[in-house]
Structure 1
Amino acid sequence: MPKAGELLREMSRYLGYHEPPSGETVFGVTFRKRKNLRPEAAFDRGPWCDMFVAQCALAAGGPAMLRLVGDFSLTTAHAAWFRDNGRWRRGAAGIRPGDIVFFDWHGEKELKFIDHVATVEKVFSPDDIQTIEGNIGDSCVRRRRTSAFVAGYGRPAYDGLPSEPDVSLISVLAELGDAPAFPGVVQLGQKGANVRRAQEKLRRRRFGLGPSGIDADFGPGTRSAVMDFQRSQGIEPTGIVDAKTWKALWEAPITV
């Protein structure tokens, strides 16, 4: 049975890894090729904290380890997989080395707003843990974390109990459906309900909005998130929510 120590040893090999100037990471490229995913840019140059976890799990213990730890690019889908398999714990109480810990930088601590994932290396107290994590400052690093932004953690089945994925979560995880009527262009400087709706969709698709979060105010952080989303969908990255972008925010699938 794969062990937590094997995963942590593999992760420690990447400490000091830094994303190249192109933004194309070995974790994103490997994940995409292994699963034959598109569009390429969404993975090759996309947020890679969870793809780092997947690659290290596969290298540390092969498919058996990957089945225990989870094989995801989307942190919200990964957390939901642990939840649906009875291996999710809210908060940080009882956390231990080898657990997969999920963070929400804006403090809502709701699964749907999770931003980041790491692996617990040491526990000094429930409010003081040491992790190994990817995509922090574009690097793989070791960090001391408090519980302030911990949404919860997943416990891989190192104990031998089954933890098979819910197949319905592997292909798509999103509140998808037909987009509401396009309200007109949503762009920098605007405020109000339509800005908030766009921000909520961006957050649920794991595009960071900056320190202000969901505030119904279209500032530079929201513009940057819109551009990142547009690139992931092959839309010209104008930073303006036009009709095509509005529709994609609701209807484009999320591959995990």
Structure 2
Amino acid sequence: MTAADMLAEARKWLGTSGRPNPLTRAYAARNGSEYLRVAWCDIAVTEWARRSGNAAAVLPAGDRAYTVWHAQDFQRIGRWYPGTVANVNRAKPGDIVFFDWGRSNSIGAIDHVGVVEKVLGGGRVQTIEGNTGDRCLRRVRSADVIAGYGRPAYGVSGQRQEEEEEVPIRTSLGKTKPQDLAWGKWTRITWDVEHADPEGAHADGNYPGYIAPETSWADFHATVRVEGLQPGDEYQLRYEVHDWSGGKSTGNPWTEIHADHPATRGVQFVTGSCSKKLKKGQHAYVAIAVFPVGDTTGRPVPKAVSGRWTIRQDKP
């Protein structure tokens, strides 16, 4: 089936209001009566998918009422796009779009979900959403509240998906070895575990980053656990992209900071997402800097103790 079928089904339900309603009743009949009166935004997406013949594409792990798990389903199969302005401008009708009213790109903070009906440009999309004010309505949403979106594999099923879709290049790097950070300086994070890694995409040795195997857009999402902070310390995460020649950077890398916050506890999960068009052979890195709230005399430097960096790069 197709995205057009998914949207046609969603449009049938515009104006639906209250709970229980026919969508929650159908979901509860399969999954339990406790779903009759719950928040029903993802229940609506589930029912539209099932009724339009798109369950396999829209629901990779089956029925969903909890938006966080639904987004994680897309992330696990490499079909998740963080909600940057650039990504939102590349959304397509039928994409499943997730929202965080706290204005982050964190999957764990997702509050709501809908279906993209139209891409408006300027980081905005028109959506159809269930349970928006307890009704099914069209909305216009912008990238500041879009945590990201999942792209269903419409019209493709089973083994044909990998053969017929433009499968992205997926890399997932992990960190298990503690690493000292430095006060007021950038420290390049080392990645010592390859959860998934195309041949030649992981820069080993002294340059533990990502080497772009193609020229195309890439989505980065990194989370690093930092220990040894004190409330009030500042931390920053940035991405670096270097041109590379003769085994080293040519200098003047592109950089962009994607976390800049005060610590509220001794352990912080430092997270940042971005999109960047890479050229084949460029090297990309994650770096973290920490800034103390007071005197550091006798105080150990914080450590980056674990983490995960996922890179999803389009096929050219």
Name the TM-score, length of structure 1 as normaliser.
0.57
Letter of the 2:93 partner, please give it: P
Letter of the 2:49 partner, please give it: A
**Cα deviation 1:39-73 (Å, max 9, x = unaligned):** x23x1000000010111111111xxx101101200
The match for 1:60 among 41, 49, 52 is 52
The match for 2:109 among 109, 113, 117 is 113
Q: In 2, Cα distance between the equivalents of 1:124 and 1:141?
A: 17
1:202-241 correspondence to structure 2 within 5 Å: none
Q: What is the SS of the residue equivalent to 1:121?
A: strand
Offset of residue 32 of structure 1? 1.8
Q: In 2, Cα distance between the equivalents of 1:76 and 1:28?
A: 19
Q: In 1, Cα distance between the equivalents of 2:83 and 2:122?
A: 9
Contact 2:104 2:144 in 1 (8 A): no
Offset of residue 96 of structure 1? 1.1
Offset of residue 25 of structure 1? 2.4
Q: In 2, Cα distance between the equivalents of 1:152 and 1:104?
A: 9
Letter of the 2:5 partner, please give it: E
The 1:160/1:74 distance shift into structure 2, 3 A limit, reads same
1:111-150 correspondence to structure 2 within 5 Å: 111-125=107-121, 127-150=123-146
Q: In 1, Cα distance between the equivalents of 2:51 and 2:24?
A: 15
Contact 2:130 2:136 in 1 (8 A): yes
Offset of residue 126 of structure 1? 5.1
Offset of residue 159 of structure 1? 5.3
Q: In 1, Cα distance between the equivalents of 2:155 and 2:128?
A: 22
Q: In 2, Cα distance between the equivalents of 1:4 and 1:150?
A: 20
Q: What is the SS of the residue equivalent to 1:109?
A: coil
Q: What is the SS of the residue equivalent to 1:142?
A: strand
Offset of residue 24 of structure 1? 1.6
Q: What is the SS of the residue equivalent to 2:14?
A: coil
The match for 2:92 among 74, 96, 107 is 96
Q: In 2, Cα distance between the equivalents of 1:159 and 1:113?
A: 30
The match for 1:152 among 117, 123, 148 is 148
Structure 1 counterpart of 2:212: none
Q: In 2, Cα distance between the equivalents of 1:131 and 1:76?
A: 19
Q: Which has the higher strand share?
A: 2
Letter of the 2:102 partner, please give it: H
Letter of the 2:91 partner, please give it: I
**Cα deviation 1:82-130 (Å, max 9, x = unaligned):** 0001111111512111100000001132101100000000001151110
Q: What is the SS of the residue equivalent to 1:122?
A: strand
Q: Which has the higher helix share?
A: 1
The 1:157/1:126 distance shift into structure 2, 3 A limit, reads farther
Offset of residue 28 of structure 1? 1.8
Contact 2:124 2:143 in 1 (8 A): yes
Contact 1:123 1:129 in 2 (8 A): yes
Structure 2: 5+ residue stretches without partners: 162-263, 265-316
Structure 2 counterpart of 1:30: 26
Q: In 2, Cα distance between the equivalents of 1:101 and 1:87?
A: 12
Structure 1 counterpart of 2:58: 69
**Cα deviation 1:164-207 (Å, max 9, x = unaligned):** xxxxxxxxxxxxxxxxxxxxxxxxxxxxxxxxxxxxxxxxxxxx
Q: In 2, Cα distance between the equivalents of 1:55 and 1:161?
A: 19
- Aligned residues between the structures: 154
The percentage of aligned residue pairs carrying the same residue is: 39
Q: In 2, Cα distance between the equivalents of 1:126 and 1:5?
A: 23
Contact 1:95 1:126 in 2 (8 A): no
Question: Which structure has the bigger radius of gyration?
Answer: 2
Structure 2 counterpart of 1:81: 73
Q: In 2, Cα distance between the equivalents of 1:107 and 1:48?
A: 21
